Amino acid sequence: MYTLLRSLLFLLPAESAHHFTLGMLKIACKIPFGKSALRALFDSENPLSQKELFGLQFKNSVGLAAGFDKNAKYIDELACLGFGFIEIGTVTPIAQEGNPLPRLFRLPKDKAIINRLGFNNDGLDAVIERLKKRKSTIIVGGNIGKNKLTPNDKAVDDYVICFKKLFDYVDYFVVNVSSPNTPNLRALQEKDKLFEILNTLQELNRKKSKPKPILLKIAPDLNRAELDDVLSVVLESQIAGLISSNTTIDRGGLLTTDAEIEKIGNGGLSGLPVLQKSNEVLAYLQQNNSTGIPIIAVGGISKAGDAVEKINLGAEMVQVYTGFIYEGPGLIKAINKALLKLNK
């Protein structure tokens, strides 16, 4: 069924298909018994799937990665599809349009996507208003970033603004310094700059009566020395954990022709081709993770076995994005069933 639907959706430009699909999901949920029907189809409700992490109780260990619902418009609807948590954003202090269209491209031969969206979002205030109105009790993470026009030496200010304003409306935070689509953003992964951001946020967090988990999302393109620096900064700043990993700028090993890739141009690659690279990063982090920093794994999951592999490599939970687009909501149910068997 989903294969047919996907073939029709893939006739549309990628970004148009994305908005159309979410619009149809919202309509489906407004139909009497629509939400119940979706839950019956895709939600594998099982108390044994619950996961406690970061002091939070997750319904299950399969989350929707940031970027799918950037503006918190569809939390209640997406919650019907079996996810254990949903990450909104990336959100910036001020609304921004992102990069010019077209900026989202499918690579069907590779089950992959290239995006250069550029943190397009409605801004903090609009997102907060939507979060205030959500009805679902699903765990929601806030993925935060800096505005394009904010220089790197002022970047910490943008992250502080996002943290302060969003604090009452999300369950955990993710610091995004790893998107390749905002100029020079990845330079913030350098040790000193990264520590400034994370330590500043954690100091603010400690002053709260109930601090919230802060996680760092990293790129899969970091070398081992850079990964060592990341682990050192995470440990020193005492944030809650890591998300590994974001999209890659690597184009190696693709089935899509070089001519097609060149025509598409710059952007972050996600999907099946990222699986091995992201797993290598995950494995290295876990092997050198002497203090047991929790890791949420994302990157290249297109079947249940991919998620199981990441859990076996040491991840506490997983997130999906591109695999969800190619395989549909049945993927979430399949992963949950596989992880349930793993836990028995």
pLDDT at 123: 98
pLDDT at 44: 82
Stretch (H or E) spanning 105: strand 104-107
| Tokens of residue 108, six digits | 């069907």
Residues with catalytic roles: 179
| Tokens of residue 133, six digits | 């109105």
pLDDT at 1: 83
**pTM for the predicted model, two decimal places:** 0.97
Residue 32 belongs to a domain with what CATH number?
Answer: 3.20.20.70
DSSP output for 239-251? -SEEEE---B---
pLDDT at 186: 96
| Tokens of residue 315, six digits | 């991840």
Tell whether the torsion through CA atoms of 266, 70, 211 and 94 is positive or negative.
positive
Q: Is the peptide bond before 137 cis (omega within 30 degrees of 0)?
A: no
CA within 13 Å, CB half, 56: 25
Do residues 257 and 216 touch, judged by C-beta distance below 8 A? no
pLDDT at 223: 97
pLDDT at 89: 98
Q: What is the pLDDT along the chain (344 residues), one digit of tens a residue?
A: 899 999 999 999 999 999 999 999 999 999 999 999 999 999 988 899 999 999 999 999 999 999 999 999 999 999 999 999 999 999 999 999 999 999 999 999 999 999 999 999 999 999 999 999 999 999 999 999 999 999 999 999 999 999 999 999 999 999 999 999 999 999 999 999 999 999 999 999 999 999 999 999 999 999 999 999 999 999 999 999 999 999 999 999 999 999 999 999 999 999 999 999 999 999 999 999 989 999 999 999 999 999 999 999 999 999 999 999 999 999 999 999 999 999 76
Do residues 66 and 90 touch, judged by C-beta distance below 8 A? yes
Number of domain units in the chain: 1
pLDDT at 161: 98
Range of the domain at 111: 2-343
Distance CA 277, CA 274 (A): 5
Distance CA 201, CA 146 (A): 14
H-helix segments, the chain: 2-9, 14-30, 34-42, 75-78, 124-133, 155-166, 191-206, 224-237, 258-264, 275-287, 304-312, 322-327, 330-343
pLDDT at 98: 98
Quote the longest CA-to-CA distance of the chain.
55
> How many other C-beta atoms lie within 10 A of the C-beta of residue 250?
14
pLDDT at 82: 97
Distance CA 277, CA 293 (A): 20
pLDDT at 344: 65
3-state secondary structure 131-187: HHHCCCCCEEEEEECCCCCCCHHHHHHHHHHHHHHHHHHCCEEEEECCCCCCCCHHH
